[in-house]
Chain A
Amino acid sequence: MAVDISDPAFIETLKRRERAGQKPSYLRLAIAVVLLIAYLVPFYYLFVTVFKTTDEYLRSSVLDLPTSLAPFWDNVVQAWTLGGMGRASINSMSYAVLGAGLATALAAGAAYGLTRLKLRSANAWFMLIFAGTLFPFQMFLVPLFFGFQRTGLINTWAGMVLVYTAICIPFPLLVLRGSFGAIAREIDEAARIEGASEWRVFASMILPNAKGPLIALFLIQFTFVWNDLLFSSILAGSPEVRSIMVALQALQGTYSSTGPNVVVTASLISSVPTVVLFIFLRRYFMSGLQLGT
C-alpha cells in the first residue's frame, strides 16, 4: 500500500489513531481497578477478621467492619500460644535461612567447578545433579521417610536442614551455571597467573560478579522452604521441630475448635516474613522469575 506521507488527511488519520490508542487507557485503568478490588476481597476479609473476637465473628456478617481494633493482640497471643507458633516460627526461620543459604552457597561452588575449571565431561556432572528436579516431590516422600526413620534423622532439626538444602541445590545450580559462564574468562585467568588460589578466585572474583542472581535465588529458596508443608509434615511432626506451616495446619480444619478469627490471624502471622521480604526486595523477586525461564 503506497501512502503519501505529506498528505495532511493521512497525517490526520494517523494522529486520530494514535489518540484512539491512548484514550482507552483510562477505560482500561477503570477496569483494572475494578478487577483489583474483586481480587483483593480475600485480603479485605483477612484484615477485618483479625480485629474481631470469636463471639463477634459468629454474630456478625464476615464482611462487617470490626467494632474495635483491640481484639487483634488477643488473637495474636492466642494463635501464638495455642498453635505453638513461637517455636514453629523459629524452626522455620532456621530451616529457611540455613537451607536456602547453604543450598545457594553449595550450588555456587558447584557452578564454579563446572564453568571456570577444566573439568572433563562437565555437562554430564551437571545433568547428574540437575536430574534431581525432574521428578515431582512425591517421588522422594516414601524413601525419605523410610531413610529418616532408619537413621534416626526423623523429627530432628539437622535432618530438616539437610533435606531442604539438598532440594534447593539443583535450581540455583542451573541459574548460576549460566551467570558464571557469562563472566569474562580474563578475570580469573589473570588472578591465577598472579598466584591466587582457586578459592580466592571463587570468593573474591566470581561471587561478587553474580550478586544479583545470588540474592534472587536465596529469596526464592527461602520462600519455598518457609512455605513448605509437604516435607515438614512427613519428616518433622513433633512439636519441637515442626515447621510454621505444620503448626498452622494443626490449628485449621473442619473439626477445628479454634475460632476462625484466631486461625486467620495465625495465617497472617505465618505470612509476615515472605511478604516483608517481597515488599522490600521486590526487584530481586521479579528478576528471579526471569532466571527460571
Chain B
Amino acid sequence: MSAPLNPPISQAIRAEARKREIAARRRSGRVALLFIAPALGLVALFLLFPVVFNLGLSFTRWQRFSGLDEFGGLMNYQRLFMVPYFSDVVINTAMWVIGAITLPLAFGLGLALLLRGVPGEGLFKSLFFLPRVLAPAAVGTIWFYVYAPDGVINSLAGAAVGQDIDYGWLFESHTITPAIIMTFVWQTLGINMVLLLLGMAAIPRDPIEAAHVDGASSWQIFRHIVWPLLLPTVFVVTILNVIAGFTAFDLIWVMANGYPAQRSLSLAVYMYYETFSNSRWAFGAAIAVMLSALVILVSWALTVMQSRVEERIR
C-alpha cells in the first residue's frame, strides 16, 4: 500500500559510490604524503640514516687514515672495557646518573612544597627557572670562576671560617665531578620544581581537605595522598633527568677545560674525546651505541614502571 521510504539503490549506483569514495581516500592519502614528505625526508637523512650508519661503523676498524672498509667485529666493544681508566669513566658516569636522578628531584620537590601558596609564588618560580634558559656553556663559564681558587665559593667559605681558602674544586679528582653535578642541579632544579608544581595542581583538593579535617598531619597528607598521586609526574621528571645524567657533556666540556683527565669525567665526554681528538671513529661509534642502549633501556624501564603506577592510581 505505501511505497518503501528508501527506494532501493541499484547495485550499480552503490558500486559507483564506493569507487568514488576509494578514489577520494587515495587522493587524500597522496596529499597527506606530500605534507609529510619534507619533514620525513630531513629526519630520514639527518637522523634515521645516521643511526643505522653509526651502528654499521661500530663494527669496522675505521680510525685515522684507515680501516673504513675493514670489518672489526666486536673489537670496538671489547676495547672499551680494556681502557686503563675505564673504571674512572664508569664511576664518574654512575655519579652523574645517581646525582641526576636524586638531587634535582629532591631540591625541586622541596622548593615546590615550600613555594606553593607563598606570596609572590610566580616571581619565585620564574627566578628559580631562569638558569634553565641559559646555555650550559654560559652557565659552565660562570661557574668555572665561581669554583676557581680565588672564586666565589672559596671567598664565602673563607669569610665564614676567617681564613683564606684557595681550594681548586675543579682541579682535584675528588671534587671535580660533584662540583660540576652541583652546577647541573643549580641549572635544572627550577624545571623540576615547575613540572612538579604542575603535577600538584592537578591533584584534587577534596581528599586533602577531608584528611585535614580528620586531623591528619601535613606529613601524613603528603606521604599518603600527595606523593602517590604525584608519582606519574615524578617518573616523567626522572626520565628527563636520567637522560641528562647519562649524556652529560656541555658543562663538563666547559668547566673541566684544561683538567688533565677530562676525558674520564663521563661516557659522553669520553666518546667525544676518542672520536674527535684521537680520530678513532669506529671506537667512538661503538661507545655511542652502548650509551644509546643504556639510555633506551633505562628510560624504557622507567616508562613501564610509570604505566604500572598509573594503573594502580586508577
Chain A residues with a Cβ under 8 A of chain B: 1, 14, 17, 21, 25, 28-29, 31-32, 35-36, 39-42, 45-46, 49, 61-63, 106-107, 109-110, 112-114, 117-120, 122, 125, 128-129, 131-147, 162-163, 165-167, 169-170, 173, 198, 202, 223, 226-230, 234, 245, 248-249, 252-255, 260, 263-264, 266-268, 270-271, 274-275, 277-278, 282, 285-286, 289-290, 293
Contact across chains for B124 and A36 when beta carbons are under 8 A apart:
yes
Count contacts between A and B, CB distance < 8 Å. Answer: 271
Interfacial chain B residues near A40, Cβ < 8 Å: 127
Interfacial chain A residues near B46, Cβ < 8 Å: 140, 144, 162-163, 166-167
**Which residue of the partner chain, among A29, A169, A274, contacts B42 with CB atoms under 8 Å?**
A169
Complex: chain B residue closest to A110, CB-CB: B39
Contact across chains for B137 and A227 when beta carbons are under 8 A apart:
yes
**Which residue of the partner chain, among B36, B141, B186, B233, contacts A267 with CB atoms under 8 Å?**
B141
- 10 residue pairs of the A-B complex, CB under 8 angstroms, read A25-B119, A63-B156, A119-B33, A122-B32, A136-B246, A139-B291, A141-B272, A167-B46, A227-B134, A245-B137
Contact across chains for A63 and B40 when beta carbons are under 8 A apart:
no
Contact across chains for A229 and B281 when beta carbons are under 8 A apart:
no
Q: Is chain B's interface secondary structure helix, strand, loop, or mixed overall?
A: helix
Interfacial chain B residues near A170, Cβ < 8 Å: 43, 47
Which chain B residues (176-217) contact chain A, with CB distance < 8 Å? 186, 191, 194-195, 198, 212-214
Complex: chain B residue closest to A237, CB-CB: B276
Q: How far is the CA of A17 from the CA of B221 in the complex (A)?
A: 14
Q: How far is the CA of A268 from the CA of B141 in the complex (A)?
A: 10
Complex: chain A residue closest to B276, CB-CB: A234
Contact across chains for B115 and A32 when beta carbons are under 8 A apart:
yes
Interfacial chain A residues near B155, Cβ < 8 Å: 61-63
The reply on B310 being an interface residue by CB < 8 A is: no
Nearest CB of chain B from residue A272's CB, rounded to whole Å = 10
Q: How far is the CA of A133 from the CA of B46 in the complex (A)?
A: 12
Contact across chains for A229 and B250 when beta carbons are under 8 A apart:
yes
Nearest CB of chain A from residue B299's CB, rounded to whole Å = 9
Interfacial chain A residues near B118, Cβ < 8 Å: 25, 28-29, 32
Chain B residues with a Cβ under 8 A of chain A: 24-25, 28-29, 31-36, 38-40, 42-51, 53-54, 57, 111, 114-115, 117-120, 124, 126-130, 133-138, 141-146, 148, 150-152, 155-156, 186, 191, 194-195, 198, 212-214, 233, 236, 243, 246-247, 249-250, 253-254, 257-259, 268, 271-272, 275-276, 281, 284-285, 287-289, 291-292, 295-296
Nearest first, the 10 closest Cβ-Cβ pairs linking A and B are A254-B258, A113-B35, A132-B47, A166-B46, A143-B50, A227-B135, A253-B257, A117-B32, A119-B32, A110-B39
**Which residue of the partner chain, among A36, A137, A254, A289, contacts B247 with CB atoms under 8 Å?**
A137
Given contacts A17-B212, A140-B51, contact A45 B145 (CB under 8 A): yes
Interfacial chain A residues near B134, Cβ < 8 Å: 227, 271, 274-275
Contact across chains for B135 and A106 when beta carbons are under 8 A apart:
no
Nearest CB of chain B from residue A27's CB, rounded to whole Å = 10
Contact across chains for A229 and B29 when beta carbons are under 8 A apart:
no
Q: How far is the CA of A17 from the CA of B212 in the complex (A)?
A: 9
**Which residue of the partner chain, among A1, A45, A169, contacts B142 with CB atoms under 8 Å?**
A45
Nearest CB of chain B from residue A56's CB, rounded to whole Å = 13
Contact across chains for A142 and B38 when beta carbons are under 8 A apart:
no
Q: Besides the contacts A109-B36, A118-B32, what 5 more A-B pairs have beta carbons closer than 8 Å?
A: A39-B186, A117-B32, A135-B51, A140-B47, A141-B288
Q: How far is the CA of A114 from the CA of B33 in the complex (A)?
A: 9
Q: How far is the CA of A139 from the CA of B143 in the complex (A)?
A: 28
Complex: chain B residue closest to A125, CB-CB: B36
**Which residue of the partner chain, among B57, B152, B194, B254, contacts A289 with CB atoms under 8 Å?**
B194
Given contacts A36-B128, A166-B42, contact A128 B54 (CB under 8 A): no
Q: How far is the CA of A170 from the CA of B43 in the complex (A)?
A: 8
Q: How far is the CA of A146 from the CA of B264 in the complex (A)?
A: 25
Interfacial chain B residues near A266, Cβ < 8 Å: 141
Nearest CB of chain B from residue A107's CB, rounded to whole Å = 6
**Which residue of the partner chain, among A28, A42, A122, A131, contacts B146 with CB atoms under 8 Å?**
A42
Nearest CB of chain B from residue A210's CB, rounded to whole Å = 15
Contact across chains for A142 and B281 when beta carbons are under 8 A apart:
yes
